[in-house]
């Protein structure tokens, strides 16, 4: 995604990132008293009679942090790949999303559910080999049992805006956890639409 030269990072009262807004909106929020400036930039907006400074980072005043962001990532194909580090959980080969598939540990024909605990990333070769068998039948041992990821929401935030170490303004770096977004960038995976703000029931999502 593009440059953040004309953007402002908005933090909540706990200094956690909540939004990226345009320079113009950041300016309006600041001069309306809704936010305070944490770090000023050299950027300016030219008014009729004076020049206004635009901050790099602002903090919302008296705003309670949004608890719903703590509910974790949505159950989706891309998030399962991300949880498994884009690695086949059977042979441990890693690859791009186009070479990966999702596999039911306990096959759906045998009553296996489509849940975080029963779905793993598998390469196409392993998926073919496994078919409708169970891993016990094939003698495969998983390195770790699959579970619902407990990513901290600050690690998910940059993905929503396509922020990475490469394009983030220097001033933002101390306030962002870019580990997940950087990994997605290296793997050539556009993760921006993957994470949602609120928790969704697993049963509502089709993988
Ligand atoms: Zn494999």
Give me ligand 1 centre to Cα 147, in Å.
19
**pTM, entire model:** 0.58
Which residues are 121's β-sheet partners?
102
47 and 29 fall within a common domain: yes
Give me ligand 1 centre to Cα 68, in Å.
35
Give me ligand 1 centre to Cα 127, in Å.
7
64 and 105 fall within a common domain: no
Give me ligand 1 centre to Cα 144, in Å.
15
- Per-residue pLDDT of 101-113, as tens digits, reads 999 999 999 999 9
Q: What pLDDT was estimated at residue 158?
A: 87
Give me ligand 1 centre to Cα 75, in Å.
22
Give me ligand 1 centre to Cα 93, in Å.
6
Which residues lie closer than 8 Å to 146 by C-beta, 6 or more apart? 83, 84, 89, 105, 116, 117, 118, 119, 120
Spatial separation of the C-alpha atoms in residues 7 and 30, rounded to whole Å:
13
Give me ligand 1 centre to Cα 92, in Å.
6
- Per-residue pLDDT of 55-93, as tens digits, reads 999 999 876 655 555 566 778 888 888 788 788 999 989
126 and 171 fall within a common domain: no
Domain, as residue range, for 24: 7-68
24 and 45 fall within a common domain: yes
15 and 56 fall within a common domain: yes
Spell out the per-residue pLDDT of the chain, length 207, in tens. Answer: 468 999 999 998 888 898 999 999 999 999 899 999 999 999 988 888 988 889 999 999 876 655 555 566 778 888 888 788 788 999 989 878 788 999 999 999 999 999 999 999 999 999 999 999 999 999 988 888 898 876 666 777 887 788 989 899 999 999 998 887 887 777 655 443 343 333 333 333 333
């Amino acid at each position: 995604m593009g440059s953040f030269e004309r953007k402002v990072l908005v933090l909540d009262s706990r200094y956690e990132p909540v939004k990226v807004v345009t320079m113009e909106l950041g300016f309006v929020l600041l001069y309306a008293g809704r936010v305070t400036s944490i770090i000023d930039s050299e950027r300016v907006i030219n008014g009729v009679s004076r020049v206004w400074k635009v901050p790099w980072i602002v903090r919302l005043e008296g705003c309670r942090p949004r608890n719903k962001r703590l509910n974790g990532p949505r159950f989706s194909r891309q998030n399962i790949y991300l949880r498994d580090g884009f690695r086949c959980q059977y042979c441990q080969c890693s690859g791009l999303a186009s070479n990966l598939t999702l596999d039911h540990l306990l096959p759906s024909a045998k009553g296996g559910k489509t849940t975080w605990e029963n779905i793993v990333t598998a390469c196409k070769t392993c998926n073919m080999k496994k078919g409708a068998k169970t891993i016990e039948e094939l003698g495969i041992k998983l390195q770790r049992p699959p579970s619902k990821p407990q990513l901290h929401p600050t690690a998910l935030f940059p993905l929503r805006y396509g922020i990475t170490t490469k394009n983030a303004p220097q001033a933002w770096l101390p306030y962002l956890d870019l580990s997940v977004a950087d990994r997605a960038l290296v793997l050539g995976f556009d993760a921006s639409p993957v994470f949602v703000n609120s928790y969704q029931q697993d049963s509502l999502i089709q993988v």
